[in-house]
Every structure is written in C-alpha cells, then in structure tokens.
C-alpha cells in the first residue's frame, strides 16, 4: 500500500476527528480511504473499490442511492440534463439572454452539447413569435 501525505485545513481535520470520536469511522485513515474511494466511484462508476468494508461503511453512514445520485447530478454525472433543464426554464420564461449566457459560460461553441442546447433555445424563441 502506498503512503501519501496530504495537508487539510484545520477545520476539516477537526470535523474528521469528531467523526472518529463519535465512532462513525474506526480511524482517520479509514475515513480518508473511504472518502477517496467514494469520490472515485462518483467520478467513475466502473471504479473497482478496494477499501475493506466499503459497502458496510457506506450503509452505516446512510448514503442512499438517492444521495449518491444527487452528488452526481440529475443525469448521473454529465450535468447535461441539468443544463437542458436550465435552458428550458429560461426559454419558457422568455429570458433568452440568460439562457445564452448560461450556455456560453458552460460550453465551448463547438461542443455537441452546446449545439443541442442552442437548438433547444431556438425552439422556445420560435414558439414565442
């Protein structure tokens, strides 16, 4: 097993210490191993967890599949569905400039998702004429 040194703000360490004191985690090392593996599973659903008792710890701290999905975003992590919802909301309200700003600040103009969002926005513009 590799050893890695990481610095954390004092407030974060204090909160982790409190979780260990409360018995939620056996040790700080267990917390750090679990949290690293958990984030890796958020980023990559195919990540193979190696932390001993990962699922048991996850169930003990009551991370539901719904909580897990919320952490990923409504569409499982790509955030495109969230963008569609945002553009749709602005489009329905006729706030086309806000939708354009959202698209421009979140996407490169050549991105496939950008083109789809601009087409979606165009349907709201055309329907209001």
pLDDT, residue 98, reads: 94
pLDDT, residue 117, reads: 93
Low-confidence ranges of the chain (pLDDT < 70): 68-78
- Three-state DSSP class for 81? helix
pLDDT, residue 5, reads: 83
What's this model's pTM, rounded to 2 decimal places? 0.52
CA separation for the pair 87, 81 (Å, rounded): 10
Residue 86 DSSP label? H
Q: Which residues of 41-76 are buried (b: 16+ CB within 10 A; e: fewer)?
A: beeeeeeeeebeeeeebbeeeeeeeeeeeeebeeee
pLDDT, residue 63, reads: 74
Contact 31, 19 (CB under 8 A): yes
């Amino acid at each position: 097993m590799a050893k890695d040194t990481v610095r954390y703000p004092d407030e974060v360490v204090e909160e982790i210490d409190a979780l260990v004191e409360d018995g939620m985690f056996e040790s700080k090392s267990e917390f750090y191993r679990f949290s690293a593996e958990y984030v890796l599973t958020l980023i990559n659903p195919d990540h193979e967890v190696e932390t001993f008792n990962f699922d048991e710890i996850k169930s003990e701290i009551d991370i539901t599949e719904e909580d897990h999905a919320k952490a990923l975003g409504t569409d499982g992590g790509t955030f495109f569905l969230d963008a569609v919802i945002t553009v749709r909301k602005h489009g329905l309200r006729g706030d086309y400039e806000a939708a354009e700003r959202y698209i421009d600040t979140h996407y490169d103009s050549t991105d496939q998702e950008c083109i789809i969002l601009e087409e979606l926005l165009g349907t709201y513009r055309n329907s209001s004429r």
